[in-house]
């Protein structure tokens, strides 16, 4: 028959704290010289749900990794937009670029935890005026560039 041993209260406390901090049952079993089942029993007695702790850690790690990856992609999007801007020559290209940059800005604010306000242009007339304004700005920019080239 297997010999049973009483786990000292100090070990119980240390094991419970280590479990909450993210240590695995296998690690602690090796460290303290107890069977894994003993570590799980200590966790259960301390009210620690081992599945929840590990799942929470995995979820947190995945969320942090995903956020870092999303921020990296957003930054690449901003870099690409900056690289494309000098090449824009047509009004519709500038309009498309502006929409893309606005979307990137909005998504970045969401990632940074800043609230973004949803505003919709509900009338066709307002959308058309906005498109016309963007087209006009693009035409002015193109004219300025052409004037600059002719003078240079």
Domain boundary assignment for the chain? 9-48, 67-151
Spell out the per-residue pLDDT of the chain, length 152, in tens.
344 578 999 999 999 999 888 888 889 999 999 999 999 999 999 998 877 666 777 777 788 888 888 899 999 999 999 999 999 999 999 999 999 999 999 999 888 887 666 666 567 788 888 888 999 999 998 888 888 777 65
Both tokens assigned to 40: 């799980």
> Hey, is 115 helix, strand or coil?
coil
Residue 68: exposed, middle, or buried by beta-carbon count in 10 A (0-12, 13-18, 19+)? exposed
Separation CA 128–CA 131 (nearest Å): 5
pTM of the model: 0.41
Which residues contact residue 27 at a Cβ distance below 8 angstroms, ignoring those fewer than 6 apart? 18
Shortest CA distance to 40 belongs to which of 6, 31, 51, 58?
51
């Amino acid at each position: 028959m297997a010999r049973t041993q009483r786990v000292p209260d100090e070990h119980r406390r240390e094991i419970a704290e280590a479990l909450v901090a993210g240590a695995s049952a296998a690690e602690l079993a090796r460290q303290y010289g107890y069977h894994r089942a003993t570590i799980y029993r200590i966790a259960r007695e301390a009210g620690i749900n081992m599945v929840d702790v590990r799942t929470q850690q995995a979820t947190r790690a995945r969320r942090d990794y995903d956020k870092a990856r999303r921020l990296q992609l957003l930054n690449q999007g901003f870099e690409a937009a900056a690289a494309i801007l000098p090449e824009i020559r047509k009004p519709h290209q500038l309009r498309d670029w502006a929409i893309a940059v606005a979307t990137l800005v909005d998504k970045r604010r969401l990632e940074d935890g800043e609230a973004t306000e949803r505003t919709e242009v509900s009338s066709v007339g307002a959308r058309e005026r906005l498109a016309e304004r963007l087209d006009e700005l693009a035409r002015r920019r193109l004219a300025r560039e052409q004037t600059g080239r002719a003078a240079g």
